[in-house]
Chain A
Amino acid sequence: MSLGKPEKEQKGTGIYTSWGYVPLDLCCTAMPENLIVNFAPASLSSSSSSGSSSSSSSSGAGGASTSKKRNDHGDGGGGGAGNGRALVGAAHLDTFLIHEVNTDPTKEFASKHVHSIHLPSALQNRCIIFRAKWVSLPKPYSVKVLVLCTNLATYFYNELGSKQIFKFEYEGDDADLSRCCRTIGATKANILLGSERGELHVFSYEPRKGNIVPSRTLKLSTEPIAELCARRNGLLVVGSPSGALSVWTISQGDPLKLTEYVLCKPETITSIVLWSPYAIVAYGSGIIRMFNLFEKAIVAQIFAHSRWISCMDVCTSANLLLTMGEDDEARIWSLRRRQKGEQRSPIKLQSTIQIEDMNLIGGRFLNTQGTVLGACNLGNKDIAVYVGEDCKR
């Protein structure tokens, strides 16, 4: 591959400034993508009206939209409606902390503690949360489930984390990490857990009782499922520790592998987000690669960070991508789809935030406009919230 002469130097044009801090009782510990967000949670609004269709500013607490009317896609992390509030969650070892945060930058920053989930430990093994996610099941279920993957079991809670719905215990007595689940996804009707054994555990939701029941287990590969991204139609994008990205479908029962992207040398996949028509994949080498799922081609390679990329998030409605790395930098990128024959880059740097001398372990957009984002730092008893001055393309 020959490199062309670099065209021009781009500089990030947007500016993000510190807006506030969400104080936590416990410090953030290191887990992949420690910070998760639940936009417009139903539990926070008092009415079930359809609410404002505008996503730009809060329409007030009374007219807030609810997640029952507006359901995120299967990943549960997409845009949220404009009641200006969101639930954010961060993990500390065996405790999951849930806070409500004001995400309307036109108002004063505020946050409050909602709930803490303390998970039980076994006699000889301490419980450690490895992954958490708010999963949204659309109509007819219209429910959000909080899934917590730990080294001992995977727990399913209601949206606010106040009630445990189901506990999925791993086979065997040993708490060895080689048999636990560490990735979470959801289709239209099912919640998916990817395990370290390359298996996909599928769970169904029973609306009558509000239960979650194991449905089936699918064997995808012999390698652990390092990252997983699922869509409602049963489309899965799975990342392996060796760097292979594979596209599957489980809509027809047995899993079918559609495409596999293989690297020349192994690089660990640390995060996957889907932004049609691309799969955007972050690696431990600091590189981000964009794959066109329809064209089955590698479209772009971005040397985004000089160290391990710890987390990535996409704001689909604002076409923004957030990446954070262990090089103490948080970068916001703007994404664009190319017209026929256009050769321009599908990605461009929007902004860089230097967060020095920290270990960034989690970052998310906190609102649908992509103007507010949160960052988790290892050992800090707070979530740093930043607001963008101008994030429009």
Chain B
Amino acid sequence: MMRNANLLLYLNLAGEVFYIIVHRMKSQKVKEEHQERVRNDIAVAICHTTVIQNLLKGSLQILNLKLTDVRILMDRIVHSSIMTVNAFSMEKLFELTLIATKYQYTTCQYPSDILLIALNHLDSIRKAVTDPTAKTLTENLHNLLVDRFKDVDVRTMQTYRYLVLSYLADVKLKMTNLIRLGLQKTSGEFVKPFPDKIKRSELHSSGLIEVYKCPDQDESTSEFKCFSCDLQCECNELDSEETLRRLTTGKFPVKVHESSIRGKEVLTTRFKVEDSDLNMNTGAPLRTSLALNGDRGIILGCSIYDIPGNCDDAPIRTDESENDEAKENTEPASRDYSSNKGNFNDDYIGSSDLYATKGLDLCSVLLGCEPSDSEDDINQSRDIGGAGPSQYSASALGLESVLENFPSLGFGTKTSTFTGNTVDEQLNMNPNSINVIRFDARSDSTGSKAALVAIAQDFFDLEAEDKGENGKYQNAMDALLNDIDMPNEDG
């Protein structure tokens, strides 16, 4: 059971990582061939048989890992491609996956939908990849999911859902995209779609009481002294030996079928007015399919970044009063996963001040420099601890588990160091790996700038002047200082 829950959680998190990466590459207008390569690589990493097998046999148990270790797992997925993401962006990406997963599991209508959510993720991955290996892996994983879950009863699915929600209970974050779509309040709570627009046969509109023909017996019971309140009441009749005697008299077992109430005189009472639908019966059956290319029937699990009106260019609310209101909220959403230590105004993606600071750090990490002090500060200020006090201390074990059970699927060496001392040497790039050049990108030395320009030209295939396509980048330096790293063509 726990293995199934681990598998679902993993797919959800990894699927969200995929969505975010694809979305960011599109918004950054990365070359299509690079995008395709990254999509294929990440899909292979997510659906790799080694990982899935480790999840299924229980050696990789995400629900037992701390959030920091799960972040390492996601880091491995992301860096299995030719792309690299610096620590800050990785942190942001991980937070987005957590909150998106929590949103989907919180608002799903019925427990069995968590399988449909996972299949939605897989469907999107499968549609986005072109590499035959990646496609085969996603199809195999789809078939495995269906085989494993199709006969699982609803109560067990609810248990899986509870396990995942319990794991994410401490995560209290705000997500700009969800807030834009009206799916999350600025205080952090999710907005549930009530009344439910999706009608389905498993659920019913509330508001009706149906009473069947009353047996011609007096239901009043003998008075007993209530054990708890010392009053005369009828609450403990069922405890008596007389009751047992009555129930065991006659033939048994007696089987009573629900159909026995059909045709009986019925008394109905409505205790709630439905807005539109006076028919209190169930809705039409929700059509869902578990087939490879079937219709899942729900949109939870599809990319929220593809929803119209949810683009990065949409205005972000930066109203001070709103921020103040959020701060005054008794439970402010916070970057700190496990406690409410304050409200970070830079929860919103695209804070220009933040990126002005981090842009150079991004370059530094990409180019192999020492991590910046500010980056360390950011990491230290976040207590990414997961649940509260617990005797379960699995951080070291968890990390080992992640490293053992998630093979490094890097394509070439990620952080090979090329110790060049001159700009010329630094520009002799090794075509077979990520090129790392040691220098301080934050210095104003001419050599540094020239090296950056040269690298940006190579990455973006840009001229030194305007980009030309949309005039967005005035020069290669600007292009490089955007928030996502561009893949090395040769990596």
A binds B: yes
Task: Tell me, rounded to whole Å, the shortest Cβ–Cβ distance linking B275 to chain A.
Answer: 12
> In the complex, are the beta carbons of B268 and A259 less than 8 A apart?
no
Is A347 on the interface with B (CB-CB < 8 A)? yes
> In the complex, are the beta carbons of A121 and B391 less than 8 A apart?
yes
A341–B236 Cα distance when bound, in Å, is 24
Interface residues of A in 21-79 (CB under 8 A from B): 25-32, 39-40, 53, 55, 70-74, 78-79
> In the complex, are the beta carbons of B252 and A285 less than 8 A apart?
no
Per-position 1/0 for A329-348, Cβ under 8 A of B: 10000000111111111111
Of the candidates B172, B221, B230, B258, the one whose C-beta lies within 8 Å of that of A70 is B230
Per-position 1/0 for A277-296, Cβ under 8 A of B: 10000001111000111111
Per-position 1/0 for B185-202, Cβ under 8 A of A: 100011110111000001
CB-based nearest A residue for B172: A379
Given A247-B247, A258-B254, A268-B153, A7:B267 Cβ within 8 A: yes
Is B418 on the interface with A (CB-CB < 8 A)? no
CB-based nearest B residue for A343: B214
Given A268-B158, A337-B219, A316:B235 Cβ within 8 A: yes
> In the complex, are the beta carbons of A127 and B190 less than 8 A apart?
no
Contacts of B153 in A (CB 8 A): 241-242, 266, 268
Per-position 1/0 for A349-380, Cβ under 8 A of B: 10000001111000000001000000000111
> In the complex, are the beta carbons of A4 and B266 less than 8 A apart?
yes
A327–B272 Cα distance when bound, in Å, is 14
Is A226 on the interface with B (CB-CB < 8 A)? yes
Interface residues of B in 259-279 (CB under 8 A from A): 259-273
Is B290 on the interface with A (CB-CB < 8 A)? no
Contacts of A226 in B (CB 8 A): 155
> In the complex, are the beta carbons of B2 and A379 less than 8 A apart?
no
> In the complex, are the beta carbons of B228 and A368 less than 8 A apart?
yes
Of the candidates B165, B189, B397, the one whose C-beta lies within 8 Å of that of A357 is B189
Per-position 1/0 for B379-402, Cβ under 8 A of A: 000000001111110100100000
B105-113, B137-145, B364-372 - interface stretch: B105-113
Is A110 on the interface with B (CB-CB < 8 A)? no
A71–B218 Cα distance when bound, in Å, is 29
A302–B207 Cα distance when bound, in Å, is 8
Per-position 1/0 for A89-120, Cβ under 8 A of B: 00011110000000000000000000000111
Total A residues in contact with B, Cβ cutoff 8 Å: 132
> In the complex, are the beta carbons of A29 and B166 less than 8 A apart?
yes
> In the complex, are the beta carbons of B63 and A126 less than 8 A apart?
yes
Is A218 on the interface with B (CB-CB < 8 A)? no
Per-position 1/0 for B223-240, Cβ under 8 A of A: 000111111011111111
Number of A-B contacts (CB under 8 A): 362
Contacts of A261 in B (CB 8 A): 256-258
> In the complex, are the beta carbons of A95 and B227 less than 8 A apart?
no
CB-based nearest A residue for B168: A379
> In the complex, are the beta carbons of A268 and B244 less than 8 A apart?
no
How extensive is the interface on chain B, given as a class? 35 or more
Contacts of A340 in B (CB 8 A): 216-218
Is B181 on the interface with A (CB-CB < 8 A)? no
Of the candidates A125, A301, A307, A308, the one whose C-beta lies within 8 Å of that of B2 is A125
> In the complex, are the beta carbons of B214 and A342 less than 8 A apart?
yes
Per-position 1/0 for A224-236, Cβ under 8 A of B: 1010000111110
CB-based nearest B residue for A229: B238
Given A95-B389, A284-B154, A12:B271 Cβ within 8 A: yes
Task: Tell me, rounded to whole Å, the shortest Cβ–Cβ distance linking A262 to chain B.
Answer: 5
Of the candidates A93, A118, A119, A341, the one whose C-beta lies within 8 Å of that of B166 is A93
Contacts of B230 in A (CB 8 A): 53, 55, 70, 81
Task: Tell me, rounded to whole Å, the shortest Cβ–Cβ distance linking A364 to chain B.
Answer: 14
A-B contact pairs, 19 of them (CB 8 A): A10-B269, A25-B389, A27-B169, A32-B162, A80-B228, A121-B390, A123-B397, A124-B58, A125-B61, A127-B392, A128-B163, A175-B2, A231-B238, A241-B155, A258-B248, A264-B257, A274-B238, A329-B206, A340-B216
A interface with B by C-beta (< 8 Å): 1-12, 25-32, 39-40, 53, 55, 70-74, 78-82, 92-95, 118-121, 123-128, 138, 151, 175-178, 224, 226, 231-235, 241-242, 246-247, 249, 251, 256-264, 266-268, 274-277, 284-287, 291-308, 316-317, 327-329, 337-349, 356-359, 368, 378-381
The 8 closest A-B pairs by CB, nearest first: A316-B235, A79-B228, A29-B166, A177-B1, A30-B162, A121-B392, A357-B189, A55-B229
Known contacts A7-B267, A256-B252, A379-B170; 19 further A-B pairs (Cβ under 8 A): A4-B265, A27-B388, A70-B228, A71-B228, A247-B247, A260-B256, A268-B158, A277-B219, A292-B215, A297-B215, A297-B260, A299-B211, A306-B195, A337-B219, A342-B214, A343-B265, A357-B191, A378-B166, A379-B172
